[in-house]
Amino acid sequence: MIYILLSTIIVPVLIGTFRFSLLPKYARMMMYYFYLCLITEIVSFAFAKMYGNNMVVHHFYIAIAAIILSQAYEELLDSVFPRILLIVPVIVAVEVALYGTSTFNSLSSTIFNSCMILTCLYAFYRMMIGSLSLPLVLINGVFMFYSLSSGFFFFTAKALQENDIDQMMVLFGIHAYINAITNIAYGICLWMLIKSFSSQRS
Amino acid sequence: MDVDKIVLISAVLIPFLATVSIMLIVYVGHRKLTHTKEQFREKEKLDQQLIQSMGRVIQNQDRSLEQYREIFNED
């Protein structure tokens, strides 16, 4: 599972790194998010091998991803609405203080996904009344699909947590495949974004 | 119902369908909004052309009046 995630997150990272200078500022912020995903996957892989419990990495990931994505969407939409994502690091701190880092980050993930869905809907609204470009709509759609899917996943995981561990592993497997598909989709959207910018310049 | 089916439906199909439908709504809404905007701009342009041509007509009438006056004054 983790090998699939590691091999797919490489796709947007490689595409964005080679054309980093061509990207606009919001896409650079999104690139920082992909770097964060790569670091999270590597460290979570290492922690799973060394200690067995890698939940602390996911708490770290949620807090930093919320900050980076709020900045990226603020830059993209030129609005203060995405700042609602900045509530997530506070929730992470409260969750870690109350339950520790050995449990799932269900609460912070649910709030992060809800805020991301709201931000994506707002971005879609702004794109509908303003200018529409296909790569941005697609990348926003991929973010929204991932947030919705992840929200449903954490909701189901919370309901199943007390019943069965094997069923949880099925959930993890499907979530990892969705993550892999969205990673490849990020790569394709970034490629389209870079193509559109390079064709505008030439 | 098996857990695989629940997860497949709730975590894959529903988000996918929701995202695709919202993207379609955005595309259609944007197209309609820009279409009406374009129509409005065209109407504005036509109105301006009409005003310009009316102005030209009035100028021509003024000019012909002046010519008549000049002729009558000469007489």
- Assembly ipTM: 0.80
Q: Determine the structural domain holding residue A113 and report its residue range.
A: 2-201
Which of A32-53 are b and which e, b meaning 16 or more Cβ less than 10 Å from the residue's Cβ? bbbbbbbebbeebbebeeeeee
% of residues, chain A, pLDDT over 70 = 96
Tens of pLDDT, residues B10-65: 778 888 899 999 999 988 888 888 877 777 788 888 988 999 888 888 888 888 88
Q: What is the pLDDT of residue B37?
A: 74
Contact A145 B19 (CB under 8 A): yes
Tens of pLDDT, residues A3-58: 777 788 888 888 888 888 888 888 899 999 999 999 998 898 888 888 877 788 88
Which residues on chain A are in Cβ contact (under 8 Å) with B27?
132, 137
Question: Is the pLDDT score of B74 beyond 70?
Answer: no
- Which of B11, B14, B23 has its CB closest to that of A137? B23
Number of domains chain A contains: 1
Mean per-residue pLDDT for A176-183? Answer: 89
pTM, full prediction: 0.80
Positive or negative CA dihedral for B31, B33, B39, B44?
A: negative
**Pick from A33, A60, A41, A42: which is nearest to A147 by CA?**
A33
Question: Is the pLDDT score of A84 beyond 60?
Answer: yes
Mutate which: B26, B34, B36, vs A, most A CBs within 10 A: B26
Residue A67: band (very low, low, confident or very high) from pLDDT cuts 50, 70, 90: very high
Mean of the per-residue pLDDT values of chain A: 86
% of residues, chain A, pLDDT over 90 = 35
